[in-house]
Amino acid sequence: MKKVRLEIVGLSYSQTQSGAYALVLGESTGSRRLPIIIGGFEAQAIAIELEKMSPSRPLTHDLFKAFAETFNIQVTEVLIYNLVEGIFYAKLLCNDGTKDVEIDARTSDAIALAVRFNCPIYTHEFILKNAGIVLDDESTPALSSEEAEVAKPEGEETETKSGSFKDKSTEELKSLLKTALDEEQYEMASKIRDELNQRKKS
């Protein structure tokens, strides 16, 4: 199954869900973006490592890295391998020098460890196709605080200010989707896209 390498494009506060953050991943050689809502603790863990800050005491992900390296275990790759009912699933690919082992992980934790082990992040093409947002302009715009996720936070329902799109026609939704993308309102775009995908399945 084809894998696509991702890079961290940005991390911003979600205005639609208290205490949550939008982690935006982008394909390395394309214009598609994969936004994911994560919790505040995981967002802090990712941001601290990206900014190369040193907390006074080790955070949980720092402890995991120290523990793993003590026993000669390296995280060699993070793979976001599935998307079920709006929830992303990820795994760590680890090696102890003799064998490779896959470990299931929440996507937010997996990304926090990926930045610490400096390992690549991948996803499958079908996930980007179903959950990715395509930018018309290949240059990456500055991420705004209004950008949010394609999926629900892990294990939680997501509220949206845009309300229900069920009473709108498919053509109206396509028009709204284009407008949302043009205005970089990724959260609304993701909701519209979900509704359009749901209609295709019906």
Q: 73-85, pLDDT tens digit by residue?
A: 999 999 999 999 8
Q: Which domain holds residue 141?
A: 3-159
The answer on 108 and 93 residing in a single domain is yes
* Helix ranges, 29-59 (H): 40-50
The answer on 146 and 47 residing in a single domain is yes
What domain count does the chain have? 2
Please determine, for residue 193, whether its predicted confidence score (pLDDT) is greater than 80. no
The answer on 153 and 85 residing in a single domain is yes
- Cβ neighbors of 34 (< 8 A, separation 6 or more) are 6, 24, 25, 26, 27, 80, 123, 127, 128, 131, 132, 133, 150
The answer on 154 and 169 residing in a single domain is no
Residue 154 CA to residue 142 CA, distance in Å, equals 26
Q: 95-105, pLDDT tens digit by residue?
A: 999 999 999 99
Q: 144-165, pLDDT tens digit by residue?
A: 333 333 333 443 333 333 446 7
Q: 31-51, pLDDT tens digit by residue?
A: 899 989 898 889 889 988 988
The answer on 102 and 40 residing in a single domain is yes
Residue 16 CA to residue 21 CA, distance in Å, equals 10
Using the 8-state DSSP alphabet, how is residue 15 labeled? S
Residue 158 pLDDT? 36
Percentage of residues in the chain having pLDDT higher than 70: 77
The answer on 166 and 137 residing in a single domain is no
The answer on 199 and 149 residing in a single domain is no
Please determine, for residue 4, whether its predicted confidence score (pLDDT) is greater than 80. yes
The answer on 128 and 83 residing in a single domain is yes
The answer on 7 and 107 residing in a single domain is yes
The answer on 72 and 39 residing in a single domain is yes
